[in-house]
Structure 1
Amino acid sequence: MPGRHGQGPRDNADTATKGEERNYTVRAVERVCSILNLLQESVEGVSLIDVAQETELPKSSAFRYLWTLEAHRYVERDAGTGLYRLGLGFVGMQSRHLEVLRERARPWLEKIRDEFGETVNLAILDGDHIVYLDVVESKHRVRFASARGFREPLYATAMGHAIASRLPEERIRELLPLSATGYEIAPDSYLTGIGDIQRLGYAISDDGDGRCVAAPLTGTRLPVALGISAPAARFSRADADKAAIRLLEVTKEITVNPIPEQRSSPQS
């Protein structure tokens, strides 16, 4: 007699299929996995033709898959090159990856803090804001520092500008704030500034008594930036330009050489 939890029917099902090889795969899901695997393996991005060949789909069908993934932010398309890469929809799923990145970057943040004597920050894009993943504060009594986990609008900081410099134009427009009458920030003007940052490789912002310089972290697909913030009276524009050169070196090193040869003792 079958038990109250249905062991009988389940046993019958097992008997009926005994010796048979089950195949629970869904072709559409397999194709999505193939697309995501292909994108994950590419640094520069992949073309529609590449995706069609990988999935053995007609270009029109491959485009529909990509369009759907893009609509859900799991894929993004570079308007300039037409290439596809993984989108920001995966960022929230990568908490362990972010922790690993923070651990790898921490010694470098400490090293830069000791070199320049100012606060060093690591931040990532989350929605239309940046979130500080880690902060190594200056040892000066007067200093500029945000708390880990603090959020700021993408458009309002050098850290945000640096991150935006690696995003597709359409994505940047989506992230700019809207009011009842339209954009609060003029998109064309903002994009012109982002173009300048792309050419330089870094961003500098002056905010009242503070100054910040930031550069996007290369060697990772995550929208992350590294920055130095300090009182403007102690950290001149010339100091910021000099620090930017160092940041450009370090943002390339973090994902390749996670621990500097000489660094200060890790802080808790």
Structure 2
Amino acid sequence: MQDDCADRRHSTSGPTAAGDAGSITRAVAVLDTLGAADTALGVSEIARRCGLPKSSVQRMLKALHAEKLLEREDTRYRLGLKLFELGQHVPRQRDLREAARPFMADLQEATGHSVHFAVLDGDCVVYLEVLHSPNSPPLPTRMGGRWPAHGTGIGKAILAFSDQAVLEQILATGLPRLSERTIVEPGRFAAELARIRERGVAYDLEESRAGVACVASPVFGLDRQVVAGISVSGWHTRINLDHSAAAVRTAALSLSRYLSMRSG
């Protein structure tokens, strides 16, 4: 991302297509940085994390703030409410999330654990909805948050039924270690996906975070194309994997059937 964030100047004849693209890329880098931060950030810190000149970041922050895409706290910035409002109008996110909610609620009631619903975006999963349970470990996952797909049960469930080109892209970018138990060897990872295809359920046994276990299943849409994943997460010492697997599988099949009928 930093190579694309180089400071570019426009000619006096007006912005070029490349200049416009560069400005958009830098703006996205700033928004991504603020989205990943737990607190509001100042200009210098944003510039450091993005690898951008401070002067460019300052101008960009003022413009984004003027459009209400950012909120300001003294000299620090955070994402603005307008971004959330715009996100609610993304058809894929809105439709899938609204369809999944009742099935997620039933799944949480059946298991007592936190329930996640996510889609694949590049090499990460993006969580469209999260139902946290007080009985489950405090997780960093949140609606709109991202997590490396290869290290999560929900990501593996989606990848196991994705096109081969998608898997090859994941392997090409590497499998970074998220915990001591993350599968980082391509051969082992491919074998794991094959097992998931056989049983229809994926497990994350402390692969994304120590002490946490997750059970996930893929969700299919029209023509049996995988469109998302659904999962439950809990303390690895408390979660009943067999019971959770049966409940998650039932929820995923029911939601898949609903999406297929609605699309038909």
Question: Shorter-chain TM-score category?
Answer: 0.5 to 0.7
Q: Distance between the aligned counterparts of 1:124 and 1:169, measured in 2?
A: 17
Q: Distance between the aligned counterparts of 2:226 and 2:163, measured in 1?
A: 14
Aligned partner of 2:103 in structure 1 is: 108
Alignment counterpart, residue 230 of structure 1, candidates 216, 234, 237: 234
Would the alpha carbon gap of residues 193 and 110 (structure 1) be closer, same or farther in structure 2, given more than 3 Å must change?
same
Aligned partner of 1:251 in structure 2 is: 252
Q: Distance between the aligned counterparts of 1:246 and 1:124, measured in 2?
A: 20
Report the count of equivalent residues: 159
* Residues 92-241 of structure 1: pairs in structure 2 closer than 5 A: 95-140=90-135, 142-144=137-139, 146-176=141-171, 178=173, 185-207=184-206, 208-220=210-222, 221-235=225-239, 239-241=240-242
Q: Distance between the aligned counterparts of 1:137 and 1:242, measured in 2?
A: 19
CA shift for structure 1 position 224: 0.7
Would the alpha carbon gap of residues 203 and 142 (structure 1) be closer, same or farther in structure 2, given more than 3 Å must change?
closer
Q: Distance between the aligned counterparts of 1:177 and 1:126, measured in 2?
A: 15
Q: Deviations over 1:202-246 (max 9, x none)?
A: 1111112100000000234353100001111221xxx12221122
Identity over aligned residues, as a percent?
25
CA contact (8 A) 2:110 2:247 kept: no
Would the alpha carbon gap of residues 128 and 159 (structure 1) be closer, same or farther in structure 2, given more than 3 Å must change?
same
Q: Distance between the aligned counterparts of 2:149 and 2:136, measured in 1?
A: 28
Q: Distance between the aligned counterparts of 2:142 and 2:216, measured in 1?
A: 17
More helix by share: 2
Would the alpha carbon gap of residues 141 and 135 (structure 1) be closer, same or farther in structure 2, given more than 3 Å must change?
closer
Matched residue SS, 2:169: helix
Q: Which has the higher contact order (CA 8 A, sep 6+)?
A: 1
Q: Distance between the aligned counterparts of 1:197 and 1:100, measured in 2?
A: 27
CA contact (8 A) 1:143 1:230 kept: no
CA shift for structure 1 position 169: 2.8
* Residues 70-89 of structure 1: pairs in structure 2 closer than 5 A: none
Would the alpha carbon gap of residues 217 and 103 (structure 1) be closer, same or farther in structure 2, given more than 3 Å must change?
same
Q: Distance between the aligned counterparts of 1:114 and 1:100, measured in 2?
A: 23
Q: Deviations over 1:68-90 (max 9, x none)?
A: xxxxxxxxxxxxxxxxxxxxxxx
Would the alpha carbon gap of residues 119 and 141 (structure 1) be closer, same or farther in structure 2, given more than 3 Å must change?
closer
Q: Distance between the aligned counterparts of 2:133 and 2:102, measured in 1?
A: 14
CA contact (8 A) 2:115 2:130 kept: yes
CA contact (8 A) 1:211 1:229 kept: yes
Instruction: Please list every run of at least 4 consecutive aligned residues from structure 1 whose deviation after the TM superposition is greater than 6 angstroms.
Output: none
CA contact (8 A) 1:210 1:229 kept: yes
- Structure 1 counterpart of 2:241, which letter? A
Q: Distance between the aligned counterparts of 1:138 and 1:240, measured in 2?
A: 17
CA contact (8 A) 1:129 1:151 kept: yes
Matched residue SS, 1:134: strand
Matched residue SS, 2:220: coil
Q: Distance between the aligned counterparts of 2:143 and 2:136, measured in 1?
A: 19
Matched residue SS, 2:118: strand
- Give 5+ residue unaligned stretches, structure 2: 1-88, 175-182, 260-264
Aligned partner of 1:90 in structure 2 is: none
